[in-house]
Amino acid sequence: MHRHQTLAAFFAMLLAGSCSAADFSGQRALEATRKAVALGQRPPGSAAIARLQAMIRAELKAHGWAVSEDVFTARTPVGQVTMRNIIGKLAGSSGRSVVFSGHYDTKAIPGVNFVGANDGGASTGWLLEMARVLPGFPRKDDVYLVFFDGEEAFGDWSDTNGIYGSRHLAAKWNSDGTLLRIKALFNVDMIGDKDLKIVEELNSSASLRRLVRATANDLGYGKYFPEFGGAIEDDHMPFVRLGVNAMDLIDFDYGPGHAWWHTAQDTMDKLSAHSFQVVGDVMSAVFQRLEK
């Protein structure tokens, strides 16, 4: 009996420790994604993305983040488009920073009812749930949550058509010195897929890939991080090219033969709370390891 009481007390203590901060909720992330997706197509400069920007700002402020915006005019194949990266910041004490990012725009696909549940929606909902839980974690570093605009190309992708927001912010942070203080940057994209398989993204920092894989294995989530390698151009790349320790978490195998990507099939029914939970739990644990 005594032994049981001791064990119970021990587990209660463990539980209290692990629950002192709110834990990431995959269900909440899914619901936040649903709200974004309900706005319809959200390409840069649209009325729908303006409504989403208001939602993002309000959520960040509600959870105590200092909110700023990186607004710029992009030259695109369809003309000049105003874009805005939305940035939440929590101040730390070390002079260094950890960044979580993802894009919130969706690709403009004329004539197609493309709502981007996984592509644009999932990264948005996941970051909004991180906005709720990160303030509760012990930290010494500054933390940034970055919502990139203009990840998607207008028409076909090229070196100058796509990742407009991350290219702009990387250049800005390079010139103002913010870049030098980044300890790690994690970009998420398309992480809501029910059939979650995060690519071993070969442009990403090898040390961060090792950290994320070890953490996923420790949490029993190793099967969602298969050792299938591929190099993917995403919002982490402008930072990688400037020497930032950065990593992309992306599941780039969406539907049979990737058939749901950039189509009207990219809808909420393809997503699961559990997939958001896996990525949320892993990144919460990774963050706490980086802050120790």
For the CB of residue 112, give the shortest distance to Zn ion in the complex, in Å.
13
Which is nearest to 125 in space by CA: 46, 56, 227?
56
Own/partner pairs for 217-221, CB < 8 Å, 24+ apart? Answer: 218/285, 219/281, 219/282, 219/285, 221/278, 221/281, 221/282
For the CB of residue 77, give the shortest distance to Zn ion in the complex, in Å.
16
For Zn ion, which is the closer residue by CB, 119 or 251? 119
Q: How many residues bind Zn ion (CB under 5 A)?
A: 1
Q: Where in 119-138 is the site for Zn ion (CB under 5 A)?
A: 119
For Zn ion, which is the closer residue by CB, 177 or 257? 257
For the CB of residue 277, give the shortest distance to Zn ion in the complex, in Å.
23
Print the binding letters for residues 20-49 with Zn ion: x by CB under 5 A, - otherwise: ------------------------------
Q: Where in 103-122 is the site for Zn ion (CB under 5 A)?
A: 119
Q: Return the percent helix, strand and coil in the chain, to nearest 5.
A: 45, 20, 35
Q: What are phi and psi of 62, to 5 degrees?
A: -60, -30
Contacts of residue 265, defined as CB under 8 A and 6 or more positions apart, other chains included, come to: 255, 259
Strands (E), 79-207: 79-90, 97-103, 142-148, 182-189, 200-201
Which is nearest to 157 in space by CA: 236, 84, 76?
76
For the CB of residue 175, give the shortest distance to Zn ion in the complex, in Å.
28
For the CB of residue 192, give the shortest distance to Zn ion in the complex, in Å.
13
Which is nearest to 173 in space by CA: 82, 238, 79, 249?
238
For the CB of residue 30, give the shortest distance to Zn ion in the complex, in Å.
19
For Zn ion, which is the closer residue by CB, 11 or 157? 157
For Zn ion, which is the closer residue by CB, 129 or 152? 152
For Zn ion, which is the closer residue by CB, 119 or 235? 119
For the CB of residue 135, give the shortest distance to Zn ion in the complex, in Å.
29
For Zn ion, which is the closer residue by CB, 95 or 110? 110
For Zn ion, which is the closer residue by CB, 123 or 204? 123
Q: Is 225 helix (H, G, I), strand (E, B) or coil?
A: coil
* Closest residue to Zn ion, based on beta-carbon distance: 119
Q: What are phi and psi of 212, to 5 degrees?
A: -65, -40
Q: How many CB atoms lie within 10 A of CB 27?
A: 13
Tokens of 103: 């894009």
User: Footprint of Zn ion on this chain (CB under 5 A)?
Assistant: 119
